[in-house]
Amino acid sequence: MIGVDVGSGDRLALGVLTQYRMATTEQMHRVIAPDVRIEQTRRRLARLRAEGLVDRITLPQAGRTRAWFPTAYGVQLASEWHEMRGHRPSRTVSDPTAVRLKAGHTLTVTETALAFLEDARRHGEMCRPLDWLPEVHHPIGSGEAVIPDALLYYKRGPADGDNGAMLRAFVEVDRATMGPERLAAKLPAYERLHRYVTVAPGRRRPSIGQKPELEDWRRHYPLFPRLLFVLDGTGPVGVENRISALRAGAGQLAPSRFLHDVPILAAPLADLHHHGPSAPVWRPVHDPDQRVGWKGPSGP
């Protein structure tokens, strides 16, 4: 255990940066302390930097915006905390050059997290800063894995009540840096995850009549998380092209329970900003003419 005393506000700031991997000063302020003046957040980040726990880069093409990230020392400290165990990002980057190269996508993922966090606050529901877990690794066999941009935990209903339903979602953030077909190619991997069962070495798969093994995802989730595609970096025509590609990709999947059991929705990030994720801005890939909310039933 590293012998550094980090206060509760500093602890949350370092935990968020370790988990999210990168955020601008404004994003950090909106995540950890939206009710105080932003100068307090700036001082907190400066203090953590002076202690060697976080660092920053300047993005010259974004009005000299500062983007903050954890140092290797900061990641080591935060990973010791009980609330972070098992949630450490699989590919934390602490080198300034690597951070700069990943800034566009990572900051957009952080902005997507903020859309859900701020929406929960407006509706009195529960989605805490550390309920957004980037890049959780899910093996699907043969050395391959599904690694969504984020796994979202969100409690529907009053934040101070016990009766709200816990929702989970895999979130894929697309900035139009890949073609629509490559975006749609993510769907078969999620379908594999939905049916993937680990077979121990030397153990045979169940034969006909034997009780089948449970899929691996059931060890972690009572229901398979819904799949949300958040689209950015393109205008309305590009959005339509991507949703059409997702619909075609879903139509090419082999018949399985995946499409029946898992809501798969897409929405532009701009709509999440303007209306909030709770609004009916999501389009089911099996029927993109619909507009639905992400929290309700929306499967085929």
Domain that holds residue 143: 120-284
d(C-alpha 181, C-alpha 94), whole Å: 32
pLDDT(132) > 50: yes
> Tell me: the pLDDT tens digits for 32-42?
999 999 999 99
How far from 140 is each of 144, 145, 191, 197, 229, CA to CA, in Å? 6, 5, 10, 8, 20
> Tell me: the pLDDT tens digits for 237-272?
999 999 999 999 999 988 888 999 999 999 999 999
Q: What is the CATH number of the domain that holds 79?
A: 1.10.10.10
Residue 255 inside a domain? The answer is yes
> Are 12 and 140 part of one and the same domain?
no
d(C-alpha 250, C-alpha 299), whole Å: 12
> Tell me: the pLDDT tens digits for 203-215?
555 555 555 578 9
> Are 83 and 211 part of one and the same domain?
no
d(C-alpha 6, C-alpha 248), whole Å: 50
Residue 262 inside a domain? The answer is yes
Taking the whole predicted model, whether its pTM rises above 0.85 is answered as yes
Backbone phi and psi for residue 278, each to the nearest 5 degrees, phi listed first: -75, -20
Number of domains the chain contains: 2
pLDDT(2) > 70: no
> Are 69 and 125 part of one and the same domain?
no
